[in-house]
């Protein structure tokens, strides 16, 4: 009978420890919640050359249940493969982890309503609700605008689209923070609600650095505009016109 693997059991060649150290040193935000039994299944599959799809799905689901963002989970996956000497994870493992993470968002005890599973950001529909709340406040039209960010730089497959969406979503969340409502509009276009007096210099610099790091890990740099294209739109006079503007800015995923 094969012995069980637990958090204190060293895997062959210390892969789990190397993976954890690499992740904590670069991408993981909360050291205490890195370990989950699902990491053992994926590490063992990588070590033995087994198909990583099922264990990657299990780990993605576990990360989603634990409240880990999909971008952070994908960065952590990249750390596992870098620990073995590989440059990037195989696309099948990336897709499986994303699908597992998305499955977790559908579970009734995970508070994920209004979240786009690909980007980890609020959906356009949720942003429309936030805009309705903003329009209820006086002077919103005069004190806010939309920052439009276009990262698309070419055609890409479904796998690479998911990887790029996750990377950009995580980068935007890091650059702008929870204080700025934002959403992905499809096709590599994203919007952030901001005030005219917001200094965008630092957030955009952080965004550029985060995209450089995350897209390099996921081999989607060639599909991501460098530097990103950024412009602003004044808010229209009414909420209905703002919703129409979001639809105008949105485009199909390519």
Superfamily of domain 124-249: Reverse transcriptase/Diguanylate cyclase domain (3.30.70.270)
Higher local confidence (pLDDT), 15 or 158: 15
Q: What is the mean predicted confidence (pLDDT) over 236-248?
A: 87
Q: Is the pLDDT of residue 26 over 80?
A: yes
At residue 4, the pLDDT reads 40
Query: Which of 149-153, 157-161, 168-172, 183-187 shows the lowest mean pLDDT across its residues?
Result: 157-161
| Spatial separation of the C-alpha atoms in residues 115 and 121, rounded to whole Å | 6
Report d(CA 180, CA 169) in Å as an integer: 13
H or E element, residue 225: strand 224-234
Mean confidence (pLDDT) of the chain: 80
- Residues 240-247 have a mean pLDDT of 88
Q: Residue 200: exposed, middle, or buried by beta-carbon count in 10 A (0-12, 13-18, 19+)? A: middle
Q: Would you say residue 141 has pLDDT above 50?
A: yes
According to the model, what pLDDT value does residue 155 have? 67
Q: What percentage of the chain reaches a pLDDT higher than 70?
A: 81
Q: Please indicate whether residue 4 or residue 70 has the higher confidence score (pLDDT).
A: 70
Number of neighbours of residue 252 by Cβ within 10 angstroms:
6
The pLDDT value recorded for residue 87 is 84
- Token pair, residue 182, equals 């934002």
pLDDT (tens digit per residue) in 163-184: 788 888 888 888 887 668 889 8
* pLDDT band, residue 194 (cuts 50/70/90): confident
Q: Which two tokens stand for residue 60?
A: 């993605």
User: Is a pLDDT exceeding 50 seen at residue 202?
Assistant: yes
Q: What is the pLDDT of residue 111?
A: 45
Could you tell me the pTM of the whole model? 0.55
Mean pLDDT of the 226-242 span: 85
Cis peptide bond upstream of 79, omega within 30? no
What whole-number distance in Å separates Cα of residue 180 and Cα of residue 86? Answer: 36
HSE (CB half, 13 Å, CA atoms) of 154?
10
Is residue 13 scored above 60 in pLDDT? no
Query: Where on the phi/psi map is residue 249: left (φ > 0), alpha (ψ -120 to 50), or beta?
Result: alpha
Higher pLDDT, 90 or 69: 90
The whole-number average pLDDT for the span 50-57 is 93
């Amino acid at each position: 009978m094969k012995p069980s693997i637990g958090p204190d059991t060293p895997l062959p060649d210390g892969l789990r420890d190397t993976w954890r150290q690499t992740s904590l040193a670069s991408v993981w935000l909360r050291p205490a919640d890195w370990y989950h039994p699902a990491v053992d299944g994926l590490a063992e599959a990588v070590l033995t050359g087994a198909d990583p799809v099922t264990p990657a799905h299990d780990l993605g689901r576990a990360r989603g249940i634990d409240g880990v963002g999909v971008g952070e989970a994908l960065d952590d996956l990249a750390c596992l493969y870098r620990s073995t000497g590989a440059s990037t994870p195989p696309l099948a493992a990336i897709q499986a982890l994303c699908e597992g993470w998305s499955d977790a968002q559908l579970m009734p005890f995970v508070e994920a309503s209004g979240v786009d599973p690909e980007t980890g950001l609020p959906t356009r529909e949720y942003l429309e609700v936030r805009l309705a709340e903003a329009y209820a406040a006086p002077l919103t039209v005069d004190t806010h605008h939309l920052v439009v960010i276009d990262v698309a730089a070419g055609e890409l497959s479904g796998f690479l689209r998911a990887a790029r969406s996750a990377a950009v979503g995580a980068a935007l969340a890091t650059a702008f923070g929870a204080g700025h409502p934002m959403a992905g509009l499809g096709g590599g276009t994203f919007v952030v609600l901001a005030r005219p007096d917001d200094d965008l210099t630092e957030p955009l610099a952080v965004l550029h650095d985060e995209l450089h790091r995350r897209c390099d890990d996921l081999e989607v740099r060639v599909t991501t505009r460098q530097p990103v294209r950024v412009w602003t739109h004044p808010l229209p006079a009414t909420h209905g016109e703002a919703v129409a503007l979001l639809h105008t800015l949105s485009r199909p995923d390519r």
